Structure 1
Amino acid sequence: MRIHPFEELDWQPTAMGDLTLRRRTDAALGVEIFEVKLGEEFLMSSLFTVAEEQLATLGLAVAVGDRLKVLVGGLGLGYTAIAALRDARVGAMTVIDTMPAVIDWHERGLLPVSGELTSDPRTSLVLDDFFAVMRREPDATDPLYDAILLDVDHSPRHQLDPSHADLYTEAGLSALSRHLKPSGVFALWSDDPPDHEFMAVMALVFAEPAAHVIDFDNPVTGGVSSNTVYVAGT
């Protein structure tokens, strides 16, 4: 496999390892690719955004009403957030990310969707720990959301940090549900196939959870890859 040279756009240390944003051009594909690594682990690539966009599309398809308030957990390259903004019913969107570098990348306009994302008056980028926010009991000053879209961990079984694991339990999902309106929706991206045990846990908290398999062409392997998007209502 040919290794294409890359340009390092940013590098910053974090509590979970060194975070790197880099850009490369794949001559064979004729595209510019943005990649994020945490330590030696690839987190995301702009070459594969279909499932991240479907996280927003499928989640909001179940949401009811207009002037929707949306919470996105995990900013990343911004494709979930942009897909949410393209739903005209979204009135306000808060995106929480725990890494200052990621928010900084978008505020500096380093990524393809950064300009569209940060110039939209509906967008608020917030530096915080999404998982800690979900554990907290919302008070009178906290908004309740029509939809919570989460794309941080690889899957419910494979977390970036052990502190995230409690969210994927009945207690953790129950705590998250307190931040949703009575007709609210929770949607979750996963890199793994549908997890039937996790679906059973979701069913203890949410109504009619569904697991959508998102297939997409993989130009690296020449085959088809897939992710999972879970969607459930309150």
Structure 2
Amino acid sequence: MSARFEELDWRPTEMGAISLRRRRDPSSGTHVYEVKLDDDFLMTSLFTEGEVALARLGLAAARAGGELDVVVGGLGLGYTAEAALRDERVRSLLVVEALDAVLDWHERHLVPVGARLSGDARCRLTHGDFFSLAADSNGFDPRTPHRRFHAILLDIDHSPRHVLRPSNAALYEPAGLRRLAQHLHPGGAFALWSDDPPDEDFTGALSEVFEGAEAHTVTFANPVQGGTSANTVYTARAPVG
């Protein structure tokens, strides 16, 4: 295998074969980490602006005067969680990840921010299905049933209309969003990353449940394709009254 490319891990899962790859970018000489599910690219360390913006915009939307307890749905390469930890208001960060392989990559420090996350006492990685937990009144934290949070940041599916599993789609409807909202403090924020342009129908569904629903376009340079690319970050707040 060429020194410019390494497959760091490959495992079968119920969703398909997941792999972690590292390659050397010829233009910059830096290492690029990529995750694939079968032949579908899930994420890359080459572009992290959307993941960072998810944390920044989501935490900014939370109406909380003091410290923040935060849930991140989907660990991935860890850039949303790492960005959240940069906010000094964050008191605790619970990251919910469904795939054991992804948790293992971070625990073994195979990915760039694995050591950063495991070394921060505020951060706890837990195995679980975010979508099932969102629909369960016990909530996301297996150690503290019914626990509420000041922000929930979600980055798992490609978009509300392009989901990894059909069962995930229910969360993006008003009924699913209402169940998710029960895990937020009043004024707490829900934020969602999407690889698609802003979706008026989804923003409308958010508005049925939350206050101040917005779709933010996050643009960034794309040296691979040339020009710029864009992600969408949706933010909304749980009603106060």
Q: How far is 1:219 from its partner?
A: 0.9
Residue pair 1:70, 1:145 contacting (<8 A) in 2 also: yes
Residue pair 2:96, 2:128 contacting (<8 A) in 1 also: yes
Q: CA RMSD in A?
A: 1.4
Calculate percent identity across the aligned residue pairs. Answer: 54
Is 137-146 or 5-14 further displaced after alignment?
137-146
Letter in 1 for 2:154: L
Q: 1: CA distance between counterparts of 2:103 and 2:121?
A: 16
Letter in 2 for 1:160: L
Which among 170, 174, 181 is matched to residue 174 of structure 2? 170
SS at match of 1:204: helix
Q: Deviations over 1:167-187 (max 9, x none)?
A: 000000000000000111000
Alignment-derived partner of residue 83 in structure 2: 83
Q: 2: CA distance between counterparts of 1:119 and 1:66?
A: 24
Q: Which runs of 5+ in 2 are unaligned?
A: none
Q: 2: CA distance between counterparts of 1:66 and 1:117?
A: 22
Alignment-derived partner of residue 15 in structure 2: 16
SS at match of 2:121: coil
TM-score (normalizing by structure 1): 0.96
SS at match of 1:219: coil
Which among 119, 138, 154 is matched to residue 158 of structure 2? 154
Which among 222, 226, 230 is matched to residue 218 of structure 1? 222
Letter in 2 for 1:65: G
Alignment-derived partner of residue 57 in structure 2: 58
How many residue pairs are counted as aligned between the two chains? 232
Q: How far is 1:80 from its partner?
A: 0.1
Letter in 1 for 2:179: A
Q: How far is 1:65 from its partner?
A: 2.3
Residue pair 1:73, 1:152 contacting (<8 A) in 2 also: yes
Q: 1: CA distance between counterparts of 2:193 and 2:202?
A: 13
Q: How far is 1:27 from its partner?
A: 1.7
Which among 183, 187, 207 is matched to residue 183 of structure 1? 187
Letter in 1 for 2:235: V
Letter in 2 for 1:29: S
Alignment-derived partner of residue 106 in structure 2: 106
Matched, 1:145 2:144: no
Which among 193, 199, 210 is matched to residue 206 of structure 1? 210
Residue pair 1:202, 1:209 contacting (<8 A) in 2 also: yes
TM-score (normalizing by structure 2): 0.94
Q: 2: CA distance between counterparts of 1:142 and 1:108?
A: 31
Which among 191, 196, 201 is matched to residue 192 of structure 1? 196
SS at match of 2:28: coil
Q: Which runs of 5+ in 1 are unaligned?
A: none
Alignment-derived partner of residue 74 in structure 1: 74
Q: 2: CA distance between counterparts of 1:30 and 1:205?
A: 47
Residue pair 2:24, 2:30 contacting (<8 A) in 1 also: yes
Q: Deviations over 1:14-42 (max 9, x none)?
A: 11100000000012132210000000000
